[in-house]
Amino acid sequence: MASERVRGAGAVPADRGAALLVVDDNEVNRDLLSRRLVAAGFAVAGAASGPEALTALDEGRFDLVLLDVMMPEMDGLEVLRRIRARFGVGELPVVMASALGDTRNLVDALRLGANDYVIKPLDMQVVLARLGTQLALRRANEDVKRLASQLRAAQDQISTLLATGGEAFADFGRWARSMSSGVAGTLGAREISVFLLQEDAFVSVEGTRAEAPSPSAVALLPAGDGLSVEEERAVAPVRGPRGDLLGAVVADGKGEWDDVERGLLLGFAHQLGGALELQRMKEQLAAARQRSSRLGGATQSLEILYVCPTCSRCWGPEVRACGADGTPLTEPRGFPHRVLDRYALRFLLGEGGMGAVFEAYDEKLDRVVALKVVKPEHFRNATVRRRFVQEANAIAAIRHPNVVELHDSGDLGDGSMFLVMERLHGRDLADLHRLSGAGTPVQVASLLRQGAAALGAAHRAGIVHRDVKPENVFLCPEDGGFRVRILDFGLAKRVDGDRNLTQSGLIVGTPAWMPPEQISGREVDERADVYSFAAVCYLALTGRGVTEERDLDKVFVDVVRNPPPPVSALLPAAPAAVDAAFRAALAKKPEARPRDVVAWATALAAALEGLPSSGAGWVFPAGGGPPGSPTAPTLVTRSPA
């Protein structure tokens, strides 16, 4: 290897402490510093040049690099640039060493991704303190990544449960066995057993040898977060949507449970409850059909919905091909073409993970509306239904011109629910960003004032949105400008509201736009919306998000640890007041953020309105885009003919 090893450098045992790479072209300085670091308990390797340092990083694993700025052949800044091309700021801390007064290089180094710096001649106490701080931050970074990985595994497992839950229709026992085996592997449990309550006893659905728990003891566990752990056995109740006890899940061979693992087991029990309710509904429906078949006379037929896969127009069962483009209609949607004999569905506008949105004609009031429903495969999910009710209640409680207007809501009688809202024309901010990039300062100022007014009204009503993101900020062209509408209050909660809508260990929201406390699963208040709205406005103004990572674990780390570049680094005309406003609203700790979103946005908007425009800003294309974007299910982006 090209690097020089000093006192125990090489393969680093776990008990030798952190592995450091000291890079300095001066052999005396390098050797002296290395010896002092070894004496302090570190394992140290030395490199005499930039190329040697990069080779050392190729061949070994290091926890931190102490890098000299001034070196021949390849200076420290170039070495840092190449290190950052391979390792993130949180993955491999780099501390720069520079002579006193060489501030320009230090500023350049910090901009290139250096974590810290020390001044030559080195004060060893200062060096050790700063190295200790960076190593502690690195450990914290690794802890966050580990948590992110666990959260992602939990989310993937829950997604699998949701995706395969329909198999319970055919064979609940086989589905439960398959799912319990997968969850056991994820959690590291020896076995997970599923028991159903029959009369006054639990009966295994998969023939396990595990001992059944006591029904009376399981019944006492609270709904939502009731997990009993004794020695190496955990028991979670399986309840139906109304809270009635249907069974139990038992995990054997695992004694310690963190919040993520508890959330996954409780999520599995929750999905089992939904599947059992689905099975019960299926049996009741079959019995009702059998009774109906015995009755004489004509039966009323249901107008099943068909949607053209080419143009998204909606048709009733009497139509075999789309009247607009001739596409055959072969796949029924399992949903009525006319809702409650009042709302005739005309276009499928968009579909998301939990619902679909249609353009509909309100035959009673002679108007076009947007109708949002839970998709049929989610009818069993009590949490989804509660979120629909919550969204309706939230919108009704706010009643603000910058919040989408709610006309009606209802239950179709089979567990599915719908909201009838105003039909919007325009673009969501995510769509505008893809089409036009950043807005002008004046446009962003308008966005700030209007969006903050909507969120402020929600906060005064005691409601926190919790999912402010570009897809939920809709802009409608109006009088040469635009009207902002805040959408999708499906994740909103009252500050003193129901905590059961968020299962422990699961992420509620969209990570790239969530504040650190929300990513960590802690309770949130209106300051979470301040952060998310500031992140949206940062994108609107600069053209980039507060994080540019794409992998979920890296997004978590970036949001929790790394602040975005100041606006002035991306828009040189931005004054210090703009940087200060975003720095406050995007603070990692909620107590450092402003509570009043309106006051914050008003001050920032005033600072932006005098800035020059460097581009055309947002442009609303004539005619809009195709109906419905999967990322913005409540949108209407064109007027169908």
Residues 6+ apart with CB under 8 A from 39: none
Sheet holding 64-68, edge to edge: 4-6, 43-47, 19-23, 64-68, 94-99, 116-120
- In the block, tokens 């596409």 appear at 327
| Sign of the C-alpha dihedral computed for residues 129, 130, 134 and 137 taken in this order | positive
Write the single-letter amino acid at 216: S
530 close to 591: Cβ distance less than 8 angstroms: no
Q: Tell me the sheet residues that pair with 410.
A: 418
Q: At what angle do helices 124-164 and 552-561 cross, to 10 degrees?
A: 140
Q: What region does 67 belong to: left with phi over 0, alpha with psi -120 to 50, or beta?
A: beta
Distance CA 306, CA 314 (A): 6
180 close to 287: Cβ distance less than 8 angstroms: no
The pair of three-digit structure tokens given for residue 341, joined into one six-digit string: 């004999």
- Mapping DSSP to helix (H, G, I), strand (E, B) and coil, where does residue 373 land? strand
Write the single-letter amino acid at 483: R
Half-sphere exposure of 592 (CA within 13 A, CB side): 13
Q: Residue 334: phi, psi to the nearest 5?
A: 65, 30
Could you tell me the CA-to-CA distances from 21 to 35, 50, 62, 431 in Å, in that order? 12, 12, 7, 46
Q: Is the previous residue joined to 121 through a cis bond, with omega within 30 degrees of 0? A: yes
Distance CA 437, CA 564 (A): 18
271 close to 161: Cβ distance less than 8 angstroms: yes
Q: Tell me the sheet residues that pair with 464.
A: 493
- In the block, tokens 């509306």 appear at 369
Q: Is 579 a catalytic residue?
A: no
- Mapping DSSP to helix (H, G, I), strand (E, B) and coil, where does residue 344 land? strand
Residues 6+ apart with CB under 8 A from 518: 466, 507, 508, 509, 524, 528
| Catalytic site residue from 408, 467, 529, 553 | 467
Ranges assigned E (strand) in 375-472: 406-411, 417-422, 427-428, 463-464
539 close to 433: Cβ distance less than 8 angstroms: yes
Q: Tell me the sheet residues that pair with 304.
A: 336
Q: Tell me the sheet residues that pair with 20.
A: 44, 64
Distance CA 107, CA 29 (A): 23
Radius of gyration of the chain (CA): 29
17 close to 45: Cβ distance less than 8 angstroms: no
Q: Where are the alpha helices (DSSP H) in 464-616?
A: 516-519, 526-542, 552-561, 567-570, 576-585, 597-608
The pair of three-digit structure tokens given for residue 162, joined into one six-digit string: 């949701």
Catalytic residue positions, numbered: 467
